[in-house]
Amino acid sequence: MIRLEQVSKTFPGTTVPAVDHVTLEIPEGEICVLLGPSGCGKTTTMKMVNRLIEPSSGQIFIDGKNTAESDPVQLRRSIGYVIQQIGLFPNKTVEDNICLMPDVLGWERAKSRARAAELLDMVAMDPATFLKRYPKELSGGQQQRIGVLRAIAADPPVLLMDEPFGAIDPINREIIQDEFLKMQARIKKTIMFVSHDIDEAVKMADRIAIFNHGRLIQYDTPDKILAQPATNFVSDFVGGDRTLKRLQLLTVKDAMMPDPPRVCAEDTLAKAVALMEENGHRSIVMVGPRGKARGYVELAEARGIKGTVGENHEPLPTTVTPDENLRTAVSTMFRHDRTWLACVDSDGIFKGYVTLRGITHLLSEINRDG
């Protein structure tokens, strides 16, 4: 969908190219994050896509059409653009800010306002509450959401994003990133996204482009970037903890022991002990009649004690789902001082468990294979 062929940019009065013969292609519906140190050429590269900066040489294509052959104004109107500073109009309501480009393009008012309500609902902002508010009545995170919605209101196929979440506090940034990924799963825009944060890139990107001194050093999937950095620069840039960063790309399901032994409340502790010893486990999960995880019994505590599991179980401090990433799982283990977690589905049905030892083993295997 977006293709750059030998694109360069040298600004007047300089001899060193800001962007030097960059070639890359972003498939339709994917997110490409441009990464690199300050002054590496990533923002200049992005701005050449909508001709805010004109290339010195090379060609840029969107959906097979050379952007140099398009009217710059019409080109920009066909591309969504989100910036860190957001740039909402303070004298316009949320509704009118979102509808800015549909209004410019001549949409019927009823259609554009319905679109604004639809988009607000998509990011869990109640239209009845927020449509008539002004930017000053919104939090920073809410303003950023509106900035994104304004960029996609006219349904452009391509979206350019310049550090869109950089000015938001970490808690809200995580929430907005998650919302954006859910939205992207529905709208499937082709996105070029400038960031300075490797963790954000690993989370958000289908592909990562790493720049240095105007050159594209490596262009690959997040997993390949972390597992097989092309140069020492890339290895240093992604950090010495790149193995841990890969946890974000793996799910609990990848490390989960599925369908392990379990006990019910009416089972005896002797049965629970026998199952744990037989399978080499130090704990066992108690489930309800329909298979929902209800608690657990520790081997060390159950040995030599009479009675039922229901009379002697401990409540589970927390659980994870198989679809959560392993970074979240490990963080949850540390937060609750656990070395294992029960895995449940969306209905609370016990599916298996994941251990810190199992995750370590999985990473060792991946590193060996890589």
Helix-helix angle 140-152:170-187, to 10 degrees: 20
Give the Cα separation of 231 and 277 in Å (integer): 49
pLDDT band at 367 (very low <50, low <70, confident <90, very high): low
Q: Domain check: are 136 and 7 in the same one?
A: yes
Q: What are the backbone angles phi and psi of residue 134, rounded to the nearest 5°?
A: -105, 160
Q: Which of 245, 260, 291 is the last residue of a domain?
A: 245
- Strands (E) in 84-172, as ranges, are 158-162
Question: Rounded CA gap, 354 and 360, in Å?
Answer: 11
The 10s digit of each residue's pLDDT in 68-121 is 999 999 999 999 988 877 788 999 999 999 999 999 889 999 999 999 999 998
Percent of the chain with pLDDT over 90: 71
Q: Kindly provide the b/e burial profile for residues 235-244, where b requires at least 16 CB atoms within 10 angstroms of the residue's own CB.
A: eebbeeebee
Same domain for 241 and 266, yes or no, is: no
Count other Cβ atoms within 10 Å, centred on residue 206: 15
- Residue ending a domain, choose from 229, 245, 261: 245
Structural domains of the chain, count: 2
294 and 189 in a common domain: no
Q: Is the pLDDT of residue 370 over 60?
A: no
Q: What is the span of the domain harbouring residue 310?
A: 252-369
Q: How far is 172 from 326, CA to CA, in rounded Å? A: 21
- To the question of pTM greater than 0.85 for the whole model, the response is no
pLDDT score of 368: 66
The H or E element that residue 298 is part of is strand 293-298
Do 362 and 273 lie in one domain? The reply is yes
Last residue of a domain, one of 245, 274, 293: 245
> Distance between CA 278 and CA 264 in Å, rounded?
17
One domain, residues 310 and 169: no
Mean pLDDT in residue range 178-191: 90
Task: Judge if 177 and 264 occupy the same domain.
Answer: no
